[in-house]
């Protein structure tokens, strides 16, 4: 597969430290922050230096490596006790993205198996999580692009690309693959209020990789669909419940409703690490409430009436019945439901090699 349109990386492990591209400064400034402690990684996740569910999980895995480096004394019982505080801090950094907890559980399983110096094993596991994410994204890109059917324009929301993952992207991975094969002629990107991930990040990332992008206000998506300008809405996910309900960046639900009304197909692209079988339905997904200042101010400048109250959820839940296609590295599920997702996860947990089943 050609990766001519894939040059951005948000996370780099270099010289015993995690370097994160500070996404708060984009698109004006490209600045990598060098982190050497788990506390720094947790704070970077909390304040959105790094964001996007897969990238958060990868960052947390490297955070565990930094925690062990700081606390390891050569005595098994001692370093594991010291480590717990850092693990708790990492787990508390963002509540909705299930990849965070998936990555921490995976690292803890390795910790439980280690009898001597843990650093090499844990760094190897963190690197594996990172590399597997990129491979999964490239796989999902091929699978999702194969569903497009005809050359078309697509609409996306938030940022689901290399900035949100280990590399290549989930929804943007499908878009990259679709553009590379000539199936996608143009990408429309919602601005994604209030953090403007679409305007600052997706538009920047696509221009870096020479993919045509047209930015629109969140409220303009319905009018765009009515004009027949797009055939697919392609988004990522921060958590997928057992029944197929999808938590994603606030504004995704309204896109799904609007897409169904206009006959536009709705595709969710996410790795199986985003599926949470312990959460039966979307109503049980914890939705992060963020600070009022994000709406009341813009770049530190007040933009709202004094005394106005704020409701600022970071995510919303799209019910499974509005999802036409779910794409994971394990294959494609058309019209996802609890049975189809359970079958896919049984395949994912069996240890069998990646295949491309399509559940009808």
Q: Any idea which residues carry the catalytic annotation?
A: 238
Q: Give the separation between CA 153 and CA 212, rounded to whole angstroms.
A: 10
Q: Give the separation between CA 205 and CA 199, rounded to whole angstroms.
A: 10
Residue whose tokens read 């349109």: 5
The angle formed by the CA atoms of residues 63, 105 and 68, to the nearest 5 degrees, is 35
Looking at residue 200, the DSSP 8-state letter turns out to be I
Structure tokens at 85: 């505080």
Neighbours of 301 (CB within 10 A): 6
Rounded to 10°, the helix 98-113/76-91 angle is 180
Structure tokens at 211: 């993919």
Q: What is the DSSP string of 17-51?
A: EEEEE-TTSTTT---EEEE-SHHHHHHHHHTTSS-
Q: Helix, strand, coil proportions of the chain in percent (round to 5)?
A: 45, 20, 40
């Amino acid at each position: 597969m050609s990766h001519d349109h894939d040059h951005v990386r948000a996370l780099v492990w270099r010289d015993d430290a995690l370097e994160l591209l500070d996404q708060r400064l984009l698109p004006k400034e490209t600045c990598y922050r060098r982190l050497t402690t788990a506390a720094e990684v947790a704070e970077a996740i909390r304040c959105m230096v790094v964001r996007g569910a897969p990238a958060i999980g990868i960052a947390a895995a490297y955070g565990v490596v930094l925690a062990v480096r700081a606390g390891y004394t050569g005595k098994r019982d001692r370093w594991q006790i010291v480590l717990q505080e850092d693990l708790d801090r990492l787990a508390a950094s963002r509540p909705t993205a299930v990849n965070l907890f998936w990555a921490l559980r995976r690292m803890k399983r390795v910790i439980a198996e280690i009898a001597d110096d843990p650093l090499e094993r844990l760094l190897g596991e963190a690197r594996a999580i990172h590399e597997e994410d990129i491979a999964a994204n490239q796989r999902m890109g091929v699978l999702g692009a194969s569903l497009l059917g005809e050359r078309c324009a697509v609409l996306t929301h938030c940022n689901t690309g290399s900035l949100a993952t280990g590399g290549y992207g989930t929804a943007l991975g499908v878009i990259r693959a679709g553009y590379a094969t000539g199936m996608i002629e143009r990408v429309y990107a919602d601005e994604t209020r209030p953090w403007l991930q679409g305007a600052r990040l997706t538009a920047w990332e696509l221009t870096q990789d020479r993919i045509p992008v047209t930015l629109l206000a969140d409220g303009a998506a319905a009018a765009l669909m009515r004009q027949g300008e797009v055939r697919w809405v392609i988004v990522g996910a921060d958590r997928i419940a057992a029944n197929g309900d999808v938590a994603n960046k606030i504004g995704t639900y309204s896109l799904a409703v609007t897409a169904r009304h206009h006959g536009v197909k709705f595709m969710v692209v996410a790795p199986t690490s985003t599926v949470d079988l312990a959460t039966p339905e979307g109503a049980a997904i914890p939705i992060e409430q963020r600070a009022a200042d994000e709406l009341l101010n813009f770049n530190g400048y007040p933009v709202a009436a004094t005394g106005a109250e704020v409701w600022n959820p970071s995510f919303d839940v799209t019910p499974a019945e509005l999802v036409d296609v779910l794409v994971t590295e394990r294959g494609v599920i058309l019209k996802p439901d609890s049975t189809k997702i359970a079958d896919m996860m049984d395949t994912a947990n069996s240890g069998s090699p990646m295949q491309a089943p399509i559940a009808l």
